[in-house]
Structure 1
Amino acid sequence: MPVTDEAIVRIKEMILSGELGPGSRLPKEADLAEQLGLSRNSLREAVKALSLIRVLDVRQGDGTYVTSLEPELLLDALAFVVDFHQDDTVLEFLEVRRILEPEAAAMAACTMSDQQIEALRAVLDGLGDDATVDELIANDLEFHRLVAAGSGNSVLHSLIDGLCAPTTRARIWRGHTEEGAVQRTRQQHRAIYDAIAQHRPDLARALTIVHISGVEQWLRTALG
């Protein structure tokens, strides 16, 4: 195992064991290197790598700290990687969304508060009849974000947030080229909202499958 990788593993073990918890400050570089039996250079590289994936927070002139380790923070790295996707992988992202989002909608139908449901309705009502495709896409992203957040599962929410961006271009393309796509999307969103507001998880799940599958099937046809 490369020395830097070993240093990463050793720091990870300290966090998992509870020796270093969220918000904890790491010992001084020289002390930690001696404690772990590693060179200061390899430790420095490990800290740099762990800071890039938001496990550690290096504060200039103050020290290095373990972050909050909240899922939305750690999964930022996923969003970063997702940004490098190629167009031919969009269908794969849609397939994953089709697996995750129906369950998020079903969970939202069970757990969303009246206030959250009202916020979801406000998003739908905020889109005028003369909305452009760009406005629809922005509204679509916010709708799906609120449903994912309403699941009450921060990991699921963060995963869905990270996976939505790669399919945005496909949705814009569909909105511009497929007749009735905008109106159909609005109707499907309204139906999903009604199922959630009525606390009907099975219906919310089924409607979300139909909704995402429609985009997926359209793209498969468009790509030939």
Structure 2
Amino acid sequence: MAVTDDAILRVKEMIVSGELKPGDRLPREADLAERLGLSRNSLREAVKALSLVRVLDVRQGDGTYVSSLRADDLLGALSFVLDLHSGEDSVQEVLEVRRILEPAAAAMAAQRIDDQEVIALRELCDAAAAAESVEELVEHDLEFHRRVVQASGNAYLAQLLDTLAGPTVRVRIWRGITQASAVDRTVAEHRAIVDALAARQPDLARSWSTVHVAGVEQWLKDLA
């Protein structure tokens, strides 16, 4: 393990263990380096790396603090990372992650969603069916997925999946243009997901969500 990676791991362990809590100020660099058995340079690099992903907050002239560790703080930098890796292979990997996480979110939503949100999702399905352009359909598609995940009640999961949605927008639009059945299939699968949510059936919601995301993933693989 590289020295800097080891330093990052040691600082992270202090946070995970609760030794350092959100809002806590880190000990002086020299003291912390000695305590962890690290060089000051490797500790400095670790602090820099952890500040880039918003785990630590470096305040000039004041010190270094553990961030609030809120979902939007920790995941906000992820969109920047994804933008640096926007090729076809990385989009495929994003879709793989969505296929793992979105069905879990849908299953959670089936246990927590309220009747008003079900109504709102049905209205989005109707709007998607009446969309006059692929771009409009994709807008409704993005909003549908966002609201299903929000209904899971897990802010970290919602923030993460919202960030992952961005790199797949162009893929969704291109599929809508080139695949004749894409619009009808998208709307039909959305309605099936809503029916499962309305029936409060987590396993069925998970299954339909898996089918839905996997369809886009398979279409992209077939293009390769």
What TM-score do you get using the length of structure 1 for normalisation?
A: 0.80
Q: 1:30 to 1:95 in 2, by over 3 A?
A: closer
Aligned 8 A contact 2:54 2:73 in 1: yes
The 3-state SS of whatever aligns with 1:138 is: helix
Look up the equivalent residue of 1:108 and give its one-letter code: A
**2:7: which partner in 1?**
7
Query: How far apart are residue 103 of structure 1 and its match?
Result: 2.6
Q: 1:12 to 1:93 in 2, by over 3 A?
A: closer
Look up the equivalent residue of 1:44 and give its one-letter code: R
**1:109: which partner in 2?**
110
Aligned 8 A contact 2:51 2:58 in 1: yes
Query: How far apart are residue 175 of structure 1 and its match?
Result: 1.0
Tell me, in whole angstroms, the C-alpha distance in 2 between the residues paired with 1:205 and 1:7.
39
2:138 is aligned with 1:137: yes
Query: How far apart are residue 105 of structure 1 and its match?
Result: 1.2
**1:201: which partner in 2?**
202
Query: How far apart are residue 42 of structure 1 and its match?
Result: 3.2
Q: Which one is further off, 167-176 or 69-78?
A: 69-78
Deviation per residue, 1:180-211 (Å, 9 max, x gap): 42243223223322321231223322322332
**2:96: which partner in 1?**
95
Superposed CA RMSD in Å reads: 2.9
Tell me, in whole angstroms, the C-alpha distance in 2 between the residues paired with 1:221 and 1:42.
45
Deviation per residue, 1:76-103 (Å, 9 max, x gap): 4544433314213433433332333223
Q: 1:210 to 1:12 in 2, by over 3 A?
A: closer
Unaligned runs of 5+ residues in structure 2 are none
Q: Which one is further off, 44-53 or 10-19?
A: 10-19
Deviation per residue, 1:109-152 (Å, 9 max, x gap): 11123454455445445558244222222221221122122223
**1:153: which partner in 2?**
154
Q: 1:192 to 1:17 in 2, by over 3 A?
A: closer
Aligned 8 A contact 2:75 2:160 in 1: yes
Q: Which one is further off, 201-210 or 45-54?
A: 201-210
Tell me, in whole angstroms, the C-alpha distance in 1 between the residues paired with 2:9 and 2:18.
14
Tell me, in whole angstroms, the C-alpha distance in 1 between the residues paired with 2:172 and 2:91.
11
**2:29: which partner in 1?**
29
**2:182: which partner in 1?**
181
Look up the equivalent residue of 2:16 and give its one-letter code: L
**1:164: which partner in 2?**
165
**1:62: which partner in 2?**
62
**Superposed structure 1 runs of 4+ greater than 6 Å apart:** none
The 3-state SS of whatever aligns with 2:65 is: strand
Q: Which one is further off, 85-94 or 18-27?
A: 85-94
**1:53: which partner in 2?**
53
Query: How far apart are residue 72 of structure 1 and its match?
Result: 4.7
Tell me, in whole angstroms, the C-alpha distance in 2 between the residues paired with 1:115 and 1:23.
37
Unaligned runs of 5+ residues in structure 1 are none
Would you say how many aligned residue pairs link Structure 1 and Structure 2? 223
Query: How far apart are residue 178 of structure 1 and its match?
Result: 1.9
Q: 1:59 to 1:116 in 2, by over 3 A?
A: farther
Q: Which one is further off, 25-34 or 42-51?
A: 25-34
